[in-house]
Structure 1
Amino acid sequence: MKGLRWRYTRLPSQMEDAQYGEDDEEEDKDEKNEAVAAPVPDPEDPVEPQLTEASQVLGASDIRQLSLHLPPRVTGHPWNLAFSTSKDGFSLRRLYRQMESCSGPVLLVLRDQEGQVFGAFLSSALRLSKGFYGTGETFLFSFSPQLKVFKWTGSNSFFVKGDWDSLMMGSGSGQFGLWLDGDLYHGRSHPCETFNNEVLARQEQFYTRELEAWVLS
């Protein structure tokens, strides 16, 4: 009888303990759910760049995302459209001419025939050169469809090189991160040591639909 009474007197307590344990678990779950559901405060909005003209390549969201990866020295500077294939034609020589009076860094953006948007931020203005020039601020990017930015790896200093027949950005082992022909219409993109980038377009060889060069100064 004592054993039965002991079991009888202990059973409600055990049931209560179990019930309390379940209640505690439910409360913990509720607290966790509340913690997950709690809104995360938005970070301070960056200074949104002002464009002198509407871009035919970048949307408002693209511009905001790219601006987060630009060096601080260009923050707050307007984006001036120095060249676009829709107005100036498909000509690298014309691009160089348009850049002769520019000294600030350049954002080169393009959309290919398959609709892929990608490009490069160049730490200084585009120009003819016998060798590579630029600084570690230079990077490549691609919206595929989310923005991917490929910064300088430090492996080499093959940032930008331009001659009359082609424009090259990033290099290593005979491959270029972004390469454009003299007509700006034919292009190629390969992984390269300078930026450890992926292929920026959907395929290694691409055809340009629209290209813009923005001077950020």
Structure 2
Amino acid sequence: MGATYSVGEVNHLYTFFVQWSPNMYGMEAKGRSFIVLDKGRLDMMEGLLSKPVHKKWEIITVRERKWQQSLCSSEGEESEEPEEPLPELTDQSELLDEFHLQELATHLPARTQGYPWRLAYSTIVHGTSLKTMYRNLAHLDSPVLLVIKDMDNQVFGAFASHPFRVSNCCYGTGETFLYSFSPNLKVFRWTGENSYFVRGHRDSLQMGAGGGHFGLWLDSNLCRGSSFQCNTFHNQPLSSKHDFTIQDLEVWTFQLSDG
């Protein structure tokens, strides 16, 4: 007494046993003409053929999972994946709230991720002086995040790959970018058209240039500034006005080491 199976069914069974018993039915079994099955295994085979298996699971890639989550979010469903933790601040910020921190952290270079943020300069704490800011950053060897709030309560600024300093020429790398919350975060990255990232003068700080304008310019007292579209970043004006008055300003650095 025996059972008759089609070629497709035999292939399905062979695949099943290769997956679950590779040592017995894998490469070593190719040269064999017969496979002896006990009654229990034969019943299992017949059950698989007569009743299709409905899986409650599937194997997908991380990219596919994120794509599914984005679809769910667009349809108003909450994502199951938890949000990234907020950066750790060793000092209190008067300008950045949780929304600002969450948004900015996702755009920072990988080499700064996971490191505490330390307040290196603040107009509230240290006074309004570009000279004092240069002095506070002189000992640093890490990127810095510039945060400005103008008199219209708009928050904007820049990430610089190197700390601000007085220089005879422009410095920095393509990691440098400008940003503005207006009210949602907009990030303006390097276009590759020039390398006018940062230049520090004793009486001003300049970021981005080209086309006759600076992307961001601050005066020696850190009281006034201006922002225009420039070739370095192709940015929109960071403030609602080209020429703005600074309410408060902070510079944050990243503790990349214990030193």
TM-score, scaled relative to structure 2: 0.68
Structure 1 stretches lacking a partner, 5+ long: 1-33
Counterpart of 2:143? 105
**More strand, by proportion:** 1
What is the match of residue 253 of structure 2?
Answer: 215
1:65 maps to 2:103 = yes
Matches within 5 A, 1:32-181: 37=75, 39=77, 41-43=79-81, 45-181=83-219
Partner Cα separation in structure 2 for residue 97 and residue 86 of structure 1: 16
Change (3 A) 1:42 1:106: farther
Q: Contact (CA 8 Å) 2:73, 2:79: kept in 1 or not?
A: no
| CA distance in structure 1 between the partners assigned to 2:151 and 2:73 by the alignment | 46
The total of aligned residue pairs comes to 184
Runs (5+) with no aligned partner, structure 2: 1-71
Q: Residue 203 of structure 1 is aligned with which of 207, 216, 241? A: 241
| RCO higher in structure (CA 8 A, sep ≥6) | 1
* Aligned counterpart, 2:222: 184
> Which whole-Å CA distance do the structure 2 matches of 1:35 and 1:98 have between them?
44
* TM-score, length of structure 1 as denominator length: 0.81
Relative to structure 1, the CA distance from residue 41 to residue 103 in structure 2 (aligned partners, 3 Å threshold; closer, same or farther) is same
1:35 is displaced (CA, Å) by 11
Contact 1:47–1:76 (CA<8 Å) still a contact in 2? no
Aligned-pair identity in percent equals 47
1:172 counterpart SS class: coil
Q: 1:91 to 1:46 in 2, by over 3 A?
A: same
Computing the radius of gyration from Cα coordinates, the structure with the larger value is 2
- CA 38–212 in structure 1, closer or farther in 2 if over 3 Å, else same: closer
